[in-house]
Amino acid sequence: MTAEIALLNKSAVALAADSAATLSSRDRQEKVFNSEDKLFELSMTQPIGVMIFNSTTFMETPVHLLIKKYRSLGREFNTVDDAAKNFREYLRDFANTLDEDVRNRNFTRLVQFPMQLARSRALKELQEALLPSVKRGEGLEGIKGVAAGIEALDTPAIAEGASKFYIETFKSAPFASFTGTKALKIIDKMGKQTKKKLSSQGLTETENELILSFIRSSATSSGSTGFVIAGFAKTELFPSLRSFEIDGMLGGDLRFMNDSAEDITLSGTSAKIIPFAQQEMVDRFVSGIDEISQNRIVEYCREQIRSLHSDLMSVLDVDDNDTTTHLQEILDKAGDTYIENLKSEGFSDIKEASRKEMEGMVESPSDKSCSTTGPS
């Protein structure tokens, strides 16, 4: 669980991150520890910092070592945007120097990730479908019941349905970006493979479409690394921020997504608070409440309204169906109105109070803030 935040105003930019990190060996999660550095200087001569989130390795190499090596090059930039693009090119060039085995493992990881998602969903659906059979009895009778349940299931159809679910999910997402055109040519070639060719690779047409839809999309695997680059470059009076995520390579090109920019200007944004990684944790701090908590409160209120209807019916002892239906409609309408007011006013009041407090802090940062300031 990672929580990170960036705060920008006309005078400075502050980046903050927790120290939690997951130690992994290739595609296996080994251990979570709380002593990882995620904030670094990107330049030796300019006030530009970099913050990382999600995986702390890139192509099986610790990211902090790559940043240290890049910083030692002593490069200077006119804008933070130039710095972000140059750093991304540096990562691409580094990855292309690695052994073919490393690059192949990276490609295998990208291919396996959507397959693992589909398998997990299919397995969950199978378990839910078998639950009635498991409950029929214990011992031999229970085993017979499970066996009968398995035999009755259309397992291939469930697996196919799970794959198609993620195909639609990935297709609805924005496209990923690549640092060159080689990756797009490979994707096009993969899309044109014949059924015979797919069969020789042990893939069905649906599985091939699943892999392609994932690689094309901006969806990220568990091995993606996020970068936040912020500060002041040579020609910038106010701070700028660029963020993106990198999720491996394809054909010598970086696969990256969620590329975004924030600039502090005189005529536009004068202060900004931006969460990264586990956004709901930052939302609780910045907005006073996060989306998950809002949904839980709304669902609790709905349950109480439904319970109120049941209690009211029992107290009134109404036998007439028309009256019961009419009361139900009144309660449903009142409940919907209450929920809408809660969303539009109740949660908004919490967010507004927290927003004003936070914006005041950003506009006038304390002398004790950990920040990067512009050129003096």
Is 12 inside any structural domain?
yes
Is 283 inside any structural domain?
no
H helical segments located in 194-290:
195-200, 205-216, 279-286
Distance CA(304)–CA(85), nearest Å, equals 53
Label residues 94-103 b or e (16+ Cβ within 10 Å = b): ebeeeeeebb
Q: Which residues pair with 273 in a beta bridge?
A: 7
SS3 21: strand
Q: Are residues 115 and 245 in the same domain?
A: no
| Span 213-237, pLDDT tens digits | 999 999 999 889 999 999 999 999 9
| Span 52-70, pLDDT tens digits | 998 889 999 999 999 999 9
Distance CA(46)–CA(113), nearest Å, equals 39
Q: Are residues 212 and 229 in the same domain?
A: no
SS3 31: strand
| Span 304-327, pLDDT tens digits | 877 777 777 677 766 677 777 777
Q: What percent of the chain has pLDDT over 70?
A: 75
Q: 295-304: which pairs have CB atoms within 8 A and are 24 or more residues apart?
A: 297/342, 298/339, 298/342, 298/343, 301/335, 301/338, 301/339, 301/342, 302/335, 302/339
User: Encoding tokens for residue 80?
Assistant: 């933070």
CATH for 235: 3.60.20
Is 284 inside any structural domain?
no
In terms of residue numbers, what domain contains 344?
291-370
- Who wins on pLDDT, 200 or 14? 14
Whether the pLDDT of residue 210 is over 70: the answer is yes
Look up tokens 């690695």; give the residue.
98
Q: Are residues 256 and 303 in the same domain?
A: no
Distance CA(307)–CA(304), nearest Å, equals 5
User: Encoding tokens for residue 99?
Assistant: 């052994």
239 to each of 70, 130, 243, 266, 341, how far by Cα in Å?
Answer: 21, 57, 14, 11, 39
Number of folded domains that form the chain: 3
Q: Are residues 262 and 314 in the same domain?
A: no
Q: What letter would DSSP give residue 181?
A: S
